[in-house]
Each structure stands twice: as structure tokens, then as C-alpha cells.
């Protein structure tokens, strides 16, 4: 069956409302019929907020596997970090590493000023008991979505792996439920115009945004509404389980780095869990159909997502997340972390 994306706002709204809705708060999540798992694959670059996103995905859906990409840190670091978080969560899933460089092979500028040199500054990682299942993340995305059609790919890092999977298998968009992305925004963070994940590999983002599968985009406009602060760190510490202590150290380190960068002493955006919650708990967010393209050539705007917000332009290629109920989202995140060992 070929999936066609509705081209008008009404059609996209109907498509979005027809997606599986989560009705179970704890444990494996099922759709409203009560029997279909919400299959998720997380493509990530941990990264403090990726680690939290991974915990939420594992708690709120059926996580089929994790793929890693270079971004916040070098690939060997993001992969080791993903393996460590999976181990701390006590979940039996495979981790596959992927792209070490963007599609065009430009030198990668990581985000050590935000996440530390190795990606998870502030936390102590356990000695690893497992290793990667393969170094072919795009192959894992292709094959796993054949075994589990209608899975959601959630991408919380640069989109290199996902673009390579789309290049390898042009039928991929037809069988997946869609791709939920943390990336972009109507303003930037790595530059004045561009958000980090999209700026890291604009050509990959361009391929993904044109691929024709249902897309959900959580840009900085919405992720800057979901904040971590000292109150949240204290609540994590009070949860008492090992993973919560890990997260308290992790997000404490994140706050320290963000303070040094921005001078903001109070809080920092917790970007990546938004892209998970958009699928597992969509009632927490408000979406609008928007046309979004990636600037790949601009002198000052390379990596910018150009979001058409003109009220008289109908439809779009993405469901653009506009708002999130941050207090409720924080409770879902804390519940997920509390459910870990």
C-alpha cells in the first residue's frame, strides 16, 4: 500500500488525529484498540537530552532499537553513551552505530560547549557490558521497519542515518508511521538562523523533509518551552533509583554548561524528549500543518528551517509542534525515569 501524505490542512489534521493514541500511562503502550504496540526506533546522538528521550521512549512505547549518529559528540562517544543508557535502563534492545560524518563529509563541529567533550558531562558512565550489534544504522532502520511496518522513527540527532536509510530504500516512507524529529525552529542556536541538528547535516535534513512520509517537527520554538531547572534536578535526586541519580547528575551537568554558555542561571531547554512525547503523548502538544524546507546554500542561513507561517497558505509537509504542556510533560518524563531500575 502506498501511503500518500494529504496536501491540505484538513487532510493532514485527519491523518494526525487518526494516529495511534496512547491510553496506557505506564509500561508498554498500546493504541486505543488496546492491542497494538506503539513501535519506536530512536536515532540519536546522546547528548543529555537524548538520554532522557531514550528513557521516555522505552517507558512509553515499544522501543525496537537505538541507532547512533555523530552530532553532540563524536560517533564513538554517542554510541558508547547510548550503550550505557540502554544498560542503565535495563532494557534488552540492540544499539547500531551509524554515520560518523555528515553526508557531504564536512568536518564535524560537535557541541562540547553544551554536552561536554564526550557528550554526557556531569554523569559517570558504568563499565559497558555490551557492545553494538552492528555499525550499519541505516541497514537496521531499513530491515527493522520491514519486520515492524508502521513503526515511528524518532530522530533526536543530525539526520544523516535517516537520510542514508531513505537513499538505500526509497520504499521506506511508504511503510513507516512517520518520522518525528527534534530539529529546526524559526530561530537558531548554533547560528542565528540554524538549530544544531539541522545545521550539522542540512543535506540530510533536506532529504528527510522531502521524503513524503508523515513528519512531525519539534523545533526550538516548542523545545524551549520544556525546561529543566534545579527543582527538577532535586526531584530526580529524590526519586532514589539508580537511573534517576544518573539523570540528576546528568542534568545538573547540563545546567552548569548551559549557564556558562548563556548566563541564564535558572533553566535550560530539554529538547529531545519533545520528539518522543509528540508520538507517545500527542495530547500534550499542539500542532499545525506547515510547509518547511531546509536552507542548504545560504551564506548566513545554511541549516535554517524555513517555516511557512503565512495564515493563508494551506497544508504543509510537516506537523509543526507549536506548544507543549510543559508541567504535564515533565511529570511524564519523571514517571519514565522513576520506572527505570
Alpha carbons 158 and 311: distance in angstroms, whole number:
30
User: Is 283 one of the annotated active-site residues of the chain?
Assistant: no
Q: Please state the closest distance from residue 195 (CB atom) to Ca ion, in A.
A: 11
Q: CA-to-CA distance for 300 and 89, rounded, in angstroms? A: 41
φ and ψ of 319, to 5 deg: -90, 110
- Residue 262: CB minimum distance to Ca ion, A: 18
Least distance between Ca ion and beta carbon 110 (Å): 11
Question: What is the CB-side half-sphere exposure of residue 125 using CA atoms within 13 A?
Answer: 22
Q: Tell me if residue 119 falls in helix, strand or coil.
A: coil
- Give the nearest distance from C-beta 71 to Ca ion in angstroms: 6
Q: Which lies closer to Ca ion via its Cβ, residue 47 or residue 184? A: 47
**Cβ closest to Ca ion, residue 156 vs residue 180:** 156
- Give the residue closest to Ca ion by C-beta: 47
Structural contact between residues 318 and 289, judged by C-beta atoms closer than 8 angstroms:
yes
Least Å distance between CB 248 and Ca ion?
19
Grouping H, G, I as helix, E, B as strand and the rest as coil, residue 121 is: coil
Please report how close the Cβ of residue 114 comes to Ca ion at its closest, in angstroms. 10
- Measured CA to CA, the distance from residue 156 to residue 50 in angstroms comes to 7
CA angle 259, 262, 268 (to 5 degrees): 60
Q: Give the torsion through C-alpha atoms of 333, 74, 218, 306, to 10 deg.
A: 170
> Is 48 or 148 the residue whose CB approaches Ca ion more closely?
48
Q: Which is nearer to Ca ion, 280 or 289 (CB)?
A: 280
DSSP of 216-231, one letter per residue? EEE-HHHHTTSEEEHH
Tell me the C-alpha distance between 69 and 136, whole Å: 11
Q: Which of 148, 271, 283, 291 is catalytic?
A: 271
**Residue 56 CB, nearest distance to Ca ion (Å)?**
13
User: What is the phi/psi pair of residue 294, to 5°?
Assistant: -110, 130
Q: Do residues 200 and 71 make contact, with C-beta atoms less than 8 angstroms apart?
A: yes
Comparing CB distances to Ca ion, the nearer of 54 and 294 is: 54
Which chain residues interact with Ca ion by CB under 5 A? 45, 47, 50, 156-157, 272
In the complex with Ca ion, the residue whose CB is nearer, 155 or 337, is: 155
Phi and psi dihedrals of 125, rounded to 5? -85, 145
- Kindly report whether the peptide bond that precedes residue 47 is cis, defined as omega within 30 degrees of 0: yes
CA 279 to chain centre: 11
Place of cell 493514541: 21
Residue nearer to Ca ion on the CB measure, 12 or 53: 53
Active site residues: 271
Amino acid at each position: 500500500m502506498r501511503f500518500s501524505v494529504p496536501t491540505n490542512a484538513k487532510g493532514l489534521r485527519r491523518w494526525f488525529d487518526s494516529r495511534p493514541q496512547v491510553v496506557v500511562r505506564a509500561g508498554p503502550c498500546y493504541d486505543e484498540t488496546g492491542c497494538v504496540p506503539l513501535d519506536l526506533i530512536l536515532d540519536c546522538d546522546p547528548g543529555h537530552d537524548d538520554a532522557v528521550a531514550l528513557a521516555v521512549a522505552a517507558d512509553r512505547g515499544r522501543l525496537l532499537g537505538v541507532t547512533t549518529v555523530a552530532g553532540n559528540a563524536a560517533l564513538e562517544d554517542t554510541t558508547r553513551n547510548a550503550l550505557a543508557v540502554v544498560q542503565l535502563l535495563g532494557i534488552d534492545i540492540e544499539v547500531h552505530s551509524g554515520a560518523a560524518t555528515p553526508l557531504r563529509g564536512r568536518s564535524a563541529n560537535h557541541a562540547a560547549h553544551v554536552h561536554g567533550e564526550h557528550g554526557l558531562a556531569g554523569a559517570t558512565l558504568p563499565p559497558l557490558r555490551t557492545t553494538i550489534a552492528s555499525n550499519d544504522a541505516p541497514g537496521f532502520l531499513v530491515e527493522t521497519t520491514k519486520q515492524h511496518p508502521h513503526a515511528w522513527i524518532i530522530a533526536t540527532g543530525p539526520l544523516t542515518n535517516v537520510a542514508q536509510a531513505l537513499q538505500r530504500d526509497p520504499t521506506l516512507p511508504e511503510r513507516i508511521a512517520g518520522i518525528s524529529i527534534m530539529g529546526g525552529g524559526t530561530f537558531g542556536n548554533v547560528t542565528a538562523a540554524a538549530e544544531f541538528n539541522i545545521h550539522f547535516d542540512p543535506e540530510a535534513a533536506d532529504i528527510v523533509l522531502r521524503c513524503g512520509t508523515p513528519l512531525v517537527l519539534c523545533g526550538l520554538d516548542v523545545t524551549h518551552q520544556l525546561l529543566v531547572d534545579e527543582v527538577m534536578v532535586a526531584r530526580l535526586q529524590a526519586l532514589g533509583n539508580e537511573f534517576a541519580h544518573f539523570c540528576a547528575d546528568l542534568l545538573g551537568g547540563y545546567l552548569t554548561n548551559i549557564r556558562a554558555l548563556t548566563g541564564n542561571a535558572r533553566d535550560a531547554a530539554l529538547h529531545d524528549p519533545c520528539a518522543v512525547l509528540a508520538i507517545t503523548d500527542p495530547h500534550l502538544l499542539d500542532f499545525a500543518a506547515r510547509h518547511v524546507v531546509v536552507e542548504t546554500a545560504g551564506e548566513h542561513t545554511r541549516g535554517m528551517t524555513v517555516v511557512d507561517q503565512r495564515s493563508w497558505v494551506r497544508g504543509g509537509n510537516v506537523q509543526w509542534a507549536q506548544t507543549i504542556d510543559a508541567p504535564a510533560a515533565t511529570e511524564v518524563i519523571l514517571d519514565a525515569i522513576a520506572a527505570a531500575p
